[in-house]
Amino acid sequence: MTPALELADVGVILGGRPVLTGASLVAVPGEVLGVVGANGAGKTTLLRAALGLAKLETGDAWLGGRPVDRLSEIERAGLAGYLPQERRIAWNMPAWRIAALGAPHLSPREAHQRALAALADMGVGGLAERGVRDMSGGERAKVLIARLLVTGAPLLVADEPAAGLDPQAALTVMEVLKTKAEAGAAVVATLHDLTLAARHCDRLAVMSAGRIVAIAPPTEALAPAVLAEAFGLDGELIATPSGWVVAARRLA
């Protein structure tokens, strides 16, 4: 199976400082790959490098088996949809129009229909006509995720899709992404909530200081040694009747 996304020994330097070093990673169709790590560990840079938005100092990045720097804009959009962390929306457009921006090459009618479906998936179908700047931050975040779904791309890359959401909304986001993966998409998402990551991701890439220190299923990736190295936490992953919970006892 062709990986949806592949990085080989990728290094990125920003402002003279290496922010990503020797990163190698593969995301395949059907899986949700979580990227976790402390603030500043290089998670966003990893995503940007994979999408051709950051200049690579070393290594190579491929989308759908093709070098990302040789893709035209339309080819790249056909291979990957991206939800940046930045959630500012410049104008007070109705939610459905924002969501429809995910499919600029479809007819307006089709884009409209897809937008309404994606908004309904995200549980904000009733807000389709409301201006996005008249919404709460959480509602706006859901509209932006709907925009990502509308792309219909085989690889969905989401930077902090669950950040700032209440628990129920965060679960909705993860469930929807999981559904997309089950339908054949590859999903790569950075996450801050380790419990959420442990429960909803098939694999986790753990980052620390610009390096990927572990890529494995959650039980391995969040082993005590990794939690100590990547997060400075003395803690562990605990099985409870309702699923995995990451418990931190103290700072490592």
Partner 1 sequence: MRLILLLIFILAASLALAVAFGETPLSVAQYAQAIVHPATAVGEILWGLRAPRAVAAALVGAELGLAGAVMQGLLRNPLADPGVLGVSAFAALGAATIIALGLAKTPGVIELAAMSGALAAGAIVAILAGRLREPETLILFGVALSALGGAATALAFNLSPSLITTSEMMNWLLGSTAGRGWGDIGAAAVPTLLGAGLCAYAARGLSMLTLGEEAAALSGLPMARLRAAAVAGAALLTGAAVAMAGVIGFVGLAAPHLVRGSVSDDPAKTLAPSALAGASLLVLADLAARMIPTAEELKLGVVTALFGAPLFALLAWRASRSWRA
Query: Footprint of partner 1 on this chain (CB under 8 A)?
Result: 48, 51, 53, 73-74, 76-78, 80-84, 86, 88-94, 97-98, 101-102, 104-105, 131, 133, 144, 147
Closer to partner 1 at the Cβ: 153 or 207?
Answer: 153
Q: Compute the least distance from the CB of residue 128 to partner 1, in Å.
A: 12
Among residues 106, 101, 178, the alpha carbon closest in space to that of 147 is found at 101
Closer to partner 1 at the Cβ: 113 or 229?
Answer: 113
Closer to partner 1 at the Cβ: 81 or 154?
Answer: 81
Q: Find the length of the chain.
A: 252
Contacts for 180 with CB less than 8 Å, ≥ 6 apart: 149, 156, 187
Q: Compute the least distance from the CB of residue 95 to partner 1, in Å.
A: 11
Closer to partner 1 at the Cβ: 76 or 203?
Answer: 76
Closer to partner 1 at the Cβ: 92 or 168?
Answer: 92
Tell me the backbone φ, ψ of residue 61, rounded to 5 degrees. Answer: -130, 135
Going 207 to 209 to 212 to 216, the CA torsion angle's sign is: negative
Q: Compute the least distance from the CB of residue 70 to partner 1, in Å.
A: 16
- Residue 196 · residue 174 · CB < 8 Å: yes
Q: Compute the least distance from the CB of residue 153 to partner 1, in Å.
A: 9
Closer to partner 1 at the Cβ: 28 or 53?
Answer: 53
Which residues on adjacent β-strands are paired with residue 33? 188, 203
Q: Compute the least distance from the CB of residue 104 to partner 1, in Å.
A: 6
How far apart, in Å, do the first and last CA atoms of the chain sit?
A: 40
Q: Compute the least distance from the CB of residue 184 to partner 1, in Å.
A: 20
